[in-house]
Structure 1
């Protein structure tokens, strides 16, 4: 579980850093970071458990856990971003 959390946080940090370095603007940086953070956990579950693909329900477990974690980290980033934007306007 810790590795999935690290994967998600690192991906979001990279998305944030790259979008910020390219000076896309605050709204686009936020959108890109959330988009990178909220990956398609359902797709991972489908690929792992579909009989014509991997056919391994056990391999779907990390996708399910990631699917739950991505919403927690995405919500955390959204909260932080809204606070940050509020401070920038003040």
Structure 2
């Protein structure tokens, strides 16, 4: 069964995309600056993967933002996967 992204991963990904675009960077540029391959950047931006603390620090440094910028607005319930919420609701 494929992994279903959590709302938390999607939220962080959206903030990465917004900041990357604000700076005029491509995914490849961000990958080069952060030392993370472009496939990894793409996975984080789409919310398909949750960042490790190390990756968060690398991306934060590359985008010249404090790590908490990407975490701002997260709540505990955002870490539930979409599929588990659907099962509970059904």
- Give the alignment's TM-score, normalised by structure 2: 0.31
Greater RCO (Cα-Cα under 8 Å, separation 6 or more): 2
More helix by share: 1
TM-score w.r.t. length of structure 1: 0.31
- Structure with bigger gyration radius: 1
